[in-house]
């Protein structure tokens, strides 16, 4: 790999921006080029690049009569859970088992305790203090489950600002309608509110905290991995 490409690759990875290294395996020199995610749409391999990035896997492909290897460098996905509740106790280890970096945020120390969340990073602070240091970004799934507007609402506003790839909030449709009114009053746009998955999780008839956790992770996975049309069918 040329030094220039290596430096650019490292810079993108440090900034948690996905890139794909395209190598021509038909040539002895193994000609390489780096494609940033923002450039996928206008790249000749755009569809293949999008597909492999969604899957998070490197692969051999054929295009334009050439054999190419697409080396995918995607940031490790994060999951920020706002609310150290029973659902979170099931959701956090499940997400960890799927490779997510998980953090639980809740200012209520009676809930956010190491005994309830062994081996899970906890931040027992209000969202305004807790969230900025977490570097929430487009590779972050964001879940608000406290049922307390004083905690969930500012957290959701932060998720909008940081363009999280998934934003979900616990509550019925009636509860969500009231939430939408509150968020609008605080400056949220209709497009922001429309991004919230509420009621949270896929509709699988989940009842227990563990089942709800499964439905949430299933929905997060669908948003991360499926192309747009299939996401709509899965919703």
Q: Taking 60 as the threshold, does the pLDDT of residue 134 lie above it? A: yes
pLDDT in tens, 94-112: 999 999 999 999 999 999 9
Regarding whether 157 and 141 lie in a shared domain, the answer is yes
Number of domains in the chain: 2
What pLDDT does 230 receive?
A: 56
> Nearest CA to 217 among 143, 159, 151?
143
Q: Which of 57-61, 92-96, 229-233 is modeled with the greatest confidence?
A: 92-96
**62 and 151 within one domain:** no
pTM: 0.89
Strand partners, 80: 103, 142
Q: State the residue range of the domain holding 98.
A: 78-234
**195 shares a domain with 118:** yes
- % the chain with pLDDT above 70: 97
Residue at which a domain ends, from 17, 38, 73: 73
Query: 182 and 129, same structural domain?
Result: yes
Element (H, E) at 190: helix 190-194
Q: Are residues 154 and 185 in the same domain?
A: yes
The reply to whether 157 and 208 lie within a common domain is: yes
DSSP class of residue 112 equals: S
Q: Dihedral through CA 10, CA 36, CA 75, CA 164, nearest 10?
A: 140
One domain, residues 7 and 53: yes
Q: E-assigned strands of 54-183?
A: 59-63, 66-73, 78-82, 101-105, 122-123, 140-144, 166-169
From CA 212, how far away is CA 206, in angstroms rounded?
A: 5
Cα 185–Cα 125–Cα 148 angle in degrees, nearest 5:
45
In this predicted structure, what is the pLDDT of residue 232? 55
Residue 30 banded pLDDT, cuts 50, 70, 90: confident
41 shares a domain with 61: yes
Same domain, 85 and 193: yes
pLDDT at 161: 96
| Per-residue pLDDT at 227 | 80
Q: What value does the mean pLDDT take over residues 154-159?
A: 97
Q: CATH no. for residue 223?
A: 3.40.50.720
Among the three residues 45, 73, 101, which one is the final residue of a domain in this structure?
A: 73
The pLDDT score that the predictor gives to residue 229 is: 60
What mean pLDDT, rounded, does the chain reach? 93
203 and 159: one domain?
A: yes
Confidence of residue 27 (pLDDT cuts 50, 70, 90): confident
Both 53 and 87 in one domain: the answer is no
CA 172/CA 200 separation, integer angstroms: 9
- Given 73, 96, 111, the domain boundary residue is 73
Same domain, 100 and 130: yes
Res 79: pLDDT: 98
* pLDDT grade for 133, boundaries at 50, 70 and 90: very high
Task: Report residue 176's pLDDT band, with 50, 70 and 90 as the boundaries.
Answer: very high
- Percent of all residues in the chain with a pLDDT value above 90, rounded to a whole number: 85
């Amino acid at each position: 790999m040329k030094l220039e490409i290596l430096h650019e690759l490292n810079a993108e990875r440090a900034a948690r921006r996905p890139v794909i290294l395209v190598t021509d395996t038909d040539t002895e020199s193994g000609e390489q080029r780096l494609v940033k995610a923002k450039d996928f749409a206008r790249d000749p391999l755009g569809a293949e690049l999008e597909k492999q990035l969604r899957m998070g896997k490197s692969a051999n492909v054929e295009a334009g009569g050439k054999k190419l290897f697409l080396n995918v460098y995607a940031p490790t996905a994060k999951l920020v859970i706002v609310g150290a509740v029973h659902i979170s106790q099931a959701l956090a280890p499940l997400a960890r088992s799927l490779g997510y970096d998980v953090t639980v945020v809740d200012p209520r120390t009676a809930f956010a305790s190491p005994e309830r969340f062994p081996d899970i990073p906890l931040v027992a602070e209000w969202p305004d203090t807790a969230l900025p240091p977490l570097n929430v970004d487009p590779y972050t799934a964001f879940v608000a489950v406290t049922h307390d507007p004083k905690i969930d609402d500012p957290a959701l506003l932060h998720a909008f600002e940081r363009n999280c790839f998934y934003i979900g909030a616990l509550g019925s449709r009636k509860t969500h309608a009231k939430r939408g009114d509150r968020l609008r009053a605080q400056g949220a746009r209709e497009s922001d509110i429309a991004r919230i998955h509420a009621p949270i999780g896929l509709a699988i008839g989940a009842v227990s905290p563990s089942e709800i956790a499964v439905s949430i992770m299933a929905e997060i996975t669908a948003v991360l991995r499926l192309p747009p049309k299939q996401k709509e069918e899965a919703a």
